[in-house]
Amino acid sequence: MSFFKDPELFLTYEATQIKLLKIFTKFGDPFKFGAIAPIGEVMFSVHLSSGNNKLSDFDTFFGYLSRNPNKYVNCQGLVIKWAYNDVERKNVTHTWSAEKLNLSLFGLPAAPVDPCANEKELAEKLAADVEERNQEKQVLEKRISDLETTNAALMDEAKKVENEKNDLVKNLDAEKAERLILQTTIASLEAKISTLQEKIICDLKAENSTLEGEVERMRNEKSGLIKDLEEEKAKVLIQEKTISDLKEENSTLAGEVERVKNEKEAVMKDLDGEKANGLALEKTILELKDEIAALEDKNNELNEDLDKWTHEISHVHSKLSRKKA
């Protein structure tokens, strides 16, 4: 597969290397899909060697290709140009160039062009190709104009979006400032609440301590009152026992008085029957009167003692009632 023996092989510069392409389209014909097939990197011994040349013979030609990476050149000096046909630089258009390189100027042998080629036909094909390229150019220019219009609209939209973004940033800054103020206020309130809580807890502890002391004092007072109450109850029991004894003694005295009265009545009856014994009876009567008087005095004393103890018991009950209240 020698470059100098196959006019369908074209050399080009691509990605810092000389590459070899296979073209399946006759000179002047439009390029269809699959008309160009990359072969790969050029190997001197396979593609360029003629037996009596060396790789350095191609330095000048390779330099030309590196300066014109949009051209493919074959051994006859025929040139194919390629260019992007859209602003996105995704699609490529290939065209036959009217120029023809003289490879001998680069120190290389030039293969003759097919002598059967009709130059007039080729010129017509080239003219048609140029016309087609011009039409494509107009389409591209129209598309570029539309894209520029769209781009201007997009730029306006982008500017609008940028302005909205700036407004949002300003609003965001304002919200951040407001949030910072709120955070500061919240922190201040939390500090005040913490201080207030500590004060309340301290006050509650002090009040609780005071209440505990008061409860202890009331417990002690209650214990004292209970003790006093027990003592008063004991006194009341003693007084009630004394009153009971006095009542019993008074009852006994009352019976004795009644007995004496009965005896007096009996004596008085006997006195009517025994007037002779008047002196003795009078003496007996006097003695009985004295005894009755003594008993009545004793009874009066007992009644006074009874009133006294009754008064004291009432006083004790009144005192106990006040303590219970």
Q: Beta-strand (E) ranges in the chain?
A: 9-14, 17-23, 36-41, 71-74, 78-84, 92-100
Q: Is residue 96 within 8 Å of 78, Cβ to Cβ?
A: yes
Name the burial class of residue 166, with classes exposed (0-12), middle (13-18) and buried (19+) by CB atoms within 10 angstroms of its CB: exposed
Spatial distance between the Cα atoms of 18 and 32, rounded to a whole number of angstroms: 24
126 against 297, higher pLDDT: 297
What per-residue confidence (pLDDT) applies to 288? 86
- pLDDT for position 117: 46
- Distance CA(296)–CA(264), nearest Å, equals 15
Burial (CB < 10 A; 0-12, 13-18, 19+), residue 263, is middle
Separation of alpha carbons 58 and 258, rounded Å: 177
pLDDT at 234: 84
Determine what percent of the chain is predicted with pLDDT higher than 90: 10
Work out the average pLDDT over 236-240: 80
Write the DSSP assignment of 161-196 as a string of letters: HHHHHHHHHHHHHHHHHHHHHHHHHHHHHHHHHHHH
Dihedral sign for Cα 45, 49, 52, 53, please: negative
pLDDT for 115 beyond 60: no
For residues 108-124, b (16+ Cβ closer than 10 Å) or e, as one string?
A: bebbebeeeeeeeebee
Are the beta carbons of 228 and 295 closer than 8 angstroms? no
Sign of CA dihedral 111, 116, 118, 119: positive
Q: Is the pLDDT score of 209 beyond 90?
A: no
Cβ contacts of 73 within 8 Å, gap of 6 or more: 10, 11, 12, 65, 79, 101
Give the model's pLDDT for residue 262.
87
Tokens representing 33 are 């899909």
Helix, strand, coil percentages (3-state) for the chain, rounded to 5, are 70, 10, 20
Q: Which residues contact 68 (CB under 8 A, 6 or more apart)?
A: 13
DSSP notation for 82-109: EEE-STTS--EEEEEEEEE--GGGGT--
Q: What's the pLDDT at 116?
A: 42
Percent of the chain exceeding pLDDT 70 equals: 90
Classify burial at 35, counting beta carbons within 10 Å of its beta carbon; exposed 0-12, middle 13-18, buried 19 or more: middle
Convert the pLDDT of each residue in 30-79 to its tens digit: 888 888 888 888 888 888 887 888 888 999 999 999 999 999 999 999 99
Report whether pLDDT(167) > 90. no
pTM of the model: 0.36
**Least reliable range by pLDDT among 67-81, 94-108, 134-148:** 134-148
Q: Is 40 left (phi over 0), alpha (psi -120 to 50) or beta?
A: left
What is the overall mean pLDDT for the chain? 82
Q: Which range (62-76, 78-92, 196-210, 269-283) has the least confidence?
A: 269-283
